């Protein structure tokens, strides 16, 4: 495995910790219909697994990736005997493939999948790498980031590469968002580090987490700098490179719906409203109160809300018509997987959303079966 | 800035508040917060309230039980919440079987990416959930350290009991306290956006602060009419004075009765029109046509009727009477003065008949605020 960015590399390639023995999870994570039930998960006895090998290249370039609905991952904490976090067990798989497990260091984060690939940014305290895991192809690549700390990486829809949030090692100073190509080439700065004055204007103290989210069409990149009280959200128009801060504070991002950014409110817990910003301007607008989880599918926001007496209900909000309708309850305590979900992800087709089961396993939910339910109501004027 | 420095220096000023109010009030409202002023009660979270004094039970979530070093601190915080609630807010107790709310350690959590602990009160009034990040979870500033996980707690660690009490406060109904610029009033509330790490002042606070209990009293009422209002409140009161008779002969007995209650207003929420007992309510008098008041004594709190105070006297002449309530230090009630009641004394039934009213020693020195 080559180090493609020697300017960044302090150390040789770190070890990839791949579990040699673990659980094989046979999962068919497709849920259909409002009364759908999750298909059984068979936990088979442990079988030895080997590390996924490097992916084959065509002319020095990565083979083109294609959408691979059903590709999934799930991260669970790897704790020592005293309860200290010593790593993350990232299990992943895809339909018709063997599931695998990768153990990564505590400072790791996972995103995707997109076109069948899962991005894992891992830092071992001395060097950072980005694992590009491709369950369908049964292989993985790695990009060595080296001396800087790669906190989070998401796929850039406009190019073969990733958008990576970097910190300076030692000081943990924000270095901004960088484009890191999958193939050879130098990283380039995409969004500069947030300025202290801007944080102070927004009332954000020390930054605890930085979230990044790219719109599917690649036109917009959102960068959130968050303290526990809320986030400053900056949006970059990728065509012009201009970065503008949204006015106000918010919680974690749910996703883009065209030029609309869907976020959770700045809440300290659940339930919490979902609000939307039109990037072109205008104030934030609430589309659903008392939300427990939400996901975006095209121009729809699917949310589970706390209903009367604490009973969860599901709604679909059409951002174009500004209407919403009840779609009943999602069976089995399913919760939509929003963009900032830290523990699971699943690639879906446009008429599906990802959901998390109560045990944390991701699954797909077909929207066709549930959307005919309910009568559309205007979102304006809702409590 | 590393986290220890941050924790020691506290939070930066929070200009977002004004900006939020001007340009993004929507989020605050939609987040379920109530009206808030500087150094006021904590905002109110959205969602259903619990029943007064509701006993909530919790247990560890299967597969995510807190480590041995964390569980007792969470239990201690549950006890702290009950002991320091100063209201009819819920109480908490852990059980090992049966139906109960769930508390979990480690991923998955329901926390926002920047939270070290979080909660869900979506199940209210039936249940709640609470989560704590694992020791060693990595944020942009570094790794989370819980003090209880360390043999010798290091600077920068977070106290589980303090953070858990914050979470129980959220479950009650409390939103993050809105601090004054510079956080000079940080210690007035446990429920804060950012818990203070060791050794910053308040990192080990284990009781609700006055601005926490203020909101709890507003939502759940006080336990007893004799309890003080939180000093973070300014609850208006109403004092009504009545006389057993407005006309009596000289030397006749007169019973003055005052009723002290909070005002009837939606702003007082659960405290609206509450009787207020056990306070010092003074009776004063003056000669009609004069401006100076003189004390006539302390009205005695009734043992049977809450908020009622009475004093029996034998007035020698006609007076105007008024009851005055001035709250003691630490009581979040607002002073009140009753309307003036005139009691006419006529006839001649004593040796003082026809003489000017006698001024007592107290009357000569005691003047009330008008």
SS3 for A73? strand
Q: Would an 8 Å CB–CB cutoff place B349 in contact with chain A?
A: no
Nearest to B142 by CA among B155, B161, B151, B131: B155
Whether residue B120 contacts residue A270, with contact meaning beta carbons closer than 8 Å, is answered with yes
pLDDT in tens, B28-83: 333 333 333 347 999 998 888 999 999 999 999 999 999 999 999 999 999 999 99
The residue among A83, A104, A230, A272 with the most chain B CBs within 10 A of its CB, best to mutate, is: A83
- pLDDT at residue A32, rounded to an integer: 34
Nearest-neighbour CA in chain A from B177: distance (Å): 11
Q: How many CB atoms lie within 10 A of CB B5?
A: 12
Q: Would an 8 Å CB–CB cutoff place B116 in contact with chain A?
A: yes
CA B78 to the chain's CA centroid: 19
Nearest-neighbour CA in chain B from A63: distance (Å): 33
Write out chain B residues lying below 8 Å of A312, CB-based.
Answer: 122
Which chain A residue is nearest to residue B13, measuring alpha carbons? A203
Q: How far is CA A304 from CA A36, A312, A367, B33, B306, in A?
A: 16, 6, 14, 21, 46
Q: Would an 8 Å CB–CB cutoff place B69 in contact with chain A?
A: yes
Find the angle CA(B184)-CA(B185)-CA(B188) to the nearest 5 degrees: 155
- pLDDT at residue A78, rounded to an integer: 93
Nearest to A101 by CA among A82, A84, A118: A118
Report the distance separating Cα A189 and Cα A177, nearest Å: 6
DSSP secondary structure, B316-358, as one string: SS-EEEEEEE-PPTT--BPPEEPPPEEEEEES--STTTTSPPP
- pLDDT at residue A36, rounded to an integer: 36
Q: Do A83 and B134 touch (CB under 8 A)?
A: yes
Task: Measure CB to CB from residue A342 to each of B30, B113, B126 and give the nearest one.
Answer: B113
The residue with greater pLDDT, B180 or A330, is: B180
Element (H, E) at A179: strand A174-181
Q: Do A79 and B114 touch (CB under 8 A)?
A: no
Nearest to A48 by CA among A74, A78, A23: A23
CA B117 to the chain's CA centroid: 25
- pLDDT at residue A43, rounded to an integer: 30
Q: Do B113 and A202 touch (CB under 8 A)?
A: no
Two tokens at A9? 């590399």
Mean pLDDT of chain B: 86
- Mean pLDDT, chain A cut into blocks of 10 residues (383 residues total): 33 30 32 33 32 75 75 94 95 91 94 94 93 92 91 93 96 97 89 94 92 93 94 95 88 92 90 90 86 90 84 89 83 78 85 87 84 60 39
Write out chain B residues lying below 8 Å of A343, CB-based.
Answer: 107-109
The residue among B68, B112, B176 with the most chain A CBs within 10 A of its CB, best to mutate, is: B112
- pLDDT at residue A378, rounded to an integer: 62
Element (H, E) at A143: strand A139-146
Which chain B residue is nearest to residue A227, measuring alpha carbons? B114
Write out chain B residues lying below 8 Å of A248, CB-based.
Answer: 19-20, 23-24, 27
- pLDDT at residue A279, rounded to an integer: 86
Classify residue B154 by its DSSP letter. Answer: P
pTM score, whole prediction? 0.84
The residue among A73, A206, A211 with the most chain B CBs within 10 A of its CB, best to mutate, is: A206
Whether residue A198 contacts residue A233, with contact meaning beta carbons closer than 8 Å, is answered with no
Nearest-neighbour CA in chain A from B61: distance (Å): 11
Question: Taking 70 as the threshold, does the pLDDT of residue B110 lie above it?
Answer: yes
Q: Would an 8 Å CB–CB cutoff place B118 in contact with chain A?
A: yes
- pLDDT at residue B352, rounded to an integer: 52
Report the distance separating Cα A111 and Cα A341, nearest Å: 9
The residue with greater pLDDT, B327 or A335, is: B327
**Nearest-10 crossing angle of helices B71-83, B160-172:** 50
Whether residue A239 contacts residue B170, with contact meaning beta carbons closer than 8 Å, is answered with no
Question: Taking 80 as the threshold, does the pLDDT of residue B16 lie above it?
Answer: no
Two tokens at B105? 């350690």
- pLDDT at residue A98, rounded to an integer: 87
Q: Do A203 and B170 touch (CB under 8 A)?
A: no
Peptide bond into A271 cis (omega under 30): yes
CB contacts < 8 A (A, B):
206
Q: Which of residues 304-323 of B touch A (CB under 8 A)?
A: none
Q: Do B140 and A204 touch (CB under 8 A)?
A: no
pLDDT in tens, B246-286: 999 988 999 999 999 999 999 999 999 999 999 999 999 99
Place of tokens 């927004």: A202
The residue with greater pLDDT, B37 or B90, is: B90
Question: Taking 70 as the threshold, does the pLDDT of residue B134 lie above it?
Answer: yes
pLDDT in tens, B302-324: 889 999 999 999 999 999 999 99
Question: Taking 50 as the threshold, does the pLDDT of residue B24 lie above it?
Answer: no
The two beta strands, B254-262 and B281-286, are: unpaired
User: What is the Cα gyration radius of chain A?
Assistant: 20
CB-based contacts of B260, cutoff 8 Å, min separation 6: B237, B238, B239, B275, B276, B277, B279, B281, B307, B308, B309, B325, B336
Nearest-neighbour CA in chain B from A100: distance (Å): 19
Whether residue B229 contacts residue B328, with contact meaning beta carbons closer than 8 Å, is answered with no
Q: Would an 8 Å CB–CB cutoff place B99 in contact with chain A?
A: no
């Amino acid at each position: 495995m080559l180090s493609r960015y020697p300017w960044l590399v302090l150390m040789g390639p770190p070890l990839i910790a791949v579990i040699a023995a673990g659980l094989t999870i046979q999962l068919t994570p497709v849920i259909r219909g409002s009364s759908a039930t999750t298909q059984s998960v068979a936990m088979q006895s442990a079988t030895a697994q080997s590390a996924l090998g490097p992916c084959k290249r065509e002319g020095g370039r990565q083979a083109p990736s294609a959408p691979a609905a059903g590709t999934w991952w799930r991260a669970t904490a790897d704790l020592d005997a005293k309860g200290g976090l010593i790593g993350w067990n990232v299990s992943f798989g895809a339909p018709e493939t063997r599931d695998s497990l990768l153990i990564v260091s505590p400072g790791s984060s996972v995103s995707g999948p997109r076109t069948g690939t899962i991005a894992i940014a891992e830092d071992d305290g001395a060097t950072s790498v980005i694992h590009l895991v491709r369950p369908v192809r049964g292989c993985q690549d790695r990009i060595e980031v080296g001396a800087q700390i790669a906190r989070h990486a998401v796929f850039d829809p406009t190019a073969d590469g990733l958008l990576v949030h970097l910190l300076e090692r030692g000081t943990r100073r924000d270095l901004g968002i960088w484009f890191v190509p999958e193939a050879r080439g130098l990283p380039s700065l995409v969004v500069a580090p947030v300025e202290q004055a801007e944080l102070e204007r927004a009332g954000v103290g020390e930054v605890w987490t930085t979230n990044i989210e790219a719109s599917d069409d690649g036109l917009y990149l959102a960068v959130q700098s968050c303290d526990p009280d809320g986030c400053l959200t900056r949006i970059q128009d990728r065509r012009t490179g201009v970065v503008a801060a949204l006015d106000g504070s918010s919680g974690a991002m749910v996703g883009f719906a065209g030029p609309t950014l869907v976020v959770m409110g700045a809440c300290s817990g659940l339930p919490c409203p979902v609000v939307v910003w039109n990037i072109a301007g205008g104030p934030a607008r609430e589309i659903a109160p008392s939300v427990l989880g939400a996901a975006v599918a095209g121009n729809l926001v699917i949310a589970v809300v706390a209903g009367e007496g604490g009973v969860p209900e599901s709604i679909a909000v059409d951002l174009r018509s500004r209407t919403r309708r009840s779609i009943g309850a999602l069976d089995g305590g399913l919760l939509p997987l929003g963009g900032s979900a830290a523990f699971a992800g699943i690639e879906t087709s446009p008429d599906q959303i990802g959901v998390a089961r109560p045990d944390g396993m991701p699954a797909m939910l077909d929207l066709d079966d549930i959307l005919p339910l309910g009568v559309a109501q205007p979102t304006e004027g809702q409590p | 800035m590393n986290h220890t420095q941050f924790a020691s220096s506290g939070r930066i000023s929070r200009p977002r508040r004004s900006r939020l109010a001007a340009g993004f009030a929507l989020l605050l409202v939609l987040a379920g917060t109530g009206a808030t002023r500087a150094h006021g009660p904590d905002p109110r979270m959205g969602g259903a309230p619990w029943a007064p004094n509701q006993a909530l039970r919790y247990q560890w979530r299967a597969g995510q039980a807190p480590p041995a070093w964390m569980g007792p601190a969470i239990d201690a915080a549950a006890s702290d919440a009950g002991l320091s609630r100063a209201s009819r807010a819920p109480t908490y107790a852990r059980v090992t079987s049966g139906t109960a709310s769930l508390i979990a350690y480690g991923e998955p959590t329901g926390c926002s990416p920047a939270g070290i602990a979080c909660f869900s009160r979506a199940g209210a009034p039936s249940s709640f959930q609470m989560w704590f990040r694992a020791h060693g979870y990595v944020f942009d500033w570094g790794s989370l350290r819980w003090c209880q996980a360390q043999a010798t707690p290091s600077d920068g660690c977070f106290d589980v009991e303090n953070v858990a009490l914050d979470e129980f406060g959220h479950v009650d109904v409390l939103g993050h306290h809105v601090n004054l610029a510079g956080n000079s009033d940080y210690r007035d509330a446990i429920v804060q956006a950012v818990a203070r790490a060791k050794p910053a002042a308040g990192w080990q606070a284990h009781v609700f602060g006055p601005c926490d209990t203020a909101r709890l009293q507003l939502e759940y009422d006080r336990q007893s009419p004799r309890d003080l209002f939180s000093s973070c409140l300014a609850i208006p009161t109403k004092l009504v004075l009545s006389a057993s008779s407005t006309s009596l002969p000289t030397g006749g007995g007169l019973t003055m009765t005052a009723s002290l209650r909070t005002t009837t207003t939606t702003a007082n929420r659960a405290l609206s029109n509450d009787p207020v007992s056990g306070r010092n309510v003074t009776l004063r008098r003056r000669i009609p046509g004069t401006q100076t008041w003189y004390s006539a004594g302390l009205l005695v709190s009734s043992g049977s009727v809450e908020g009622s105070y009475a004093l029996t006297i034998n007035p020698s002449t006609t007076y105007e009477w008024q009851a005055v309530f001035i709250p003691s230090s630490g009581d979040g009630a607002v002073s009140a003065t009753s309307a003036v009641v005139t009691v006419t004394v006529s006839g001649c039934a004593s040796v003082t008949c026809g003489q000017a009213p006698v001024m007592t020693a107290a009357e000569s020195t005691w003047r009330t605020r008008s």
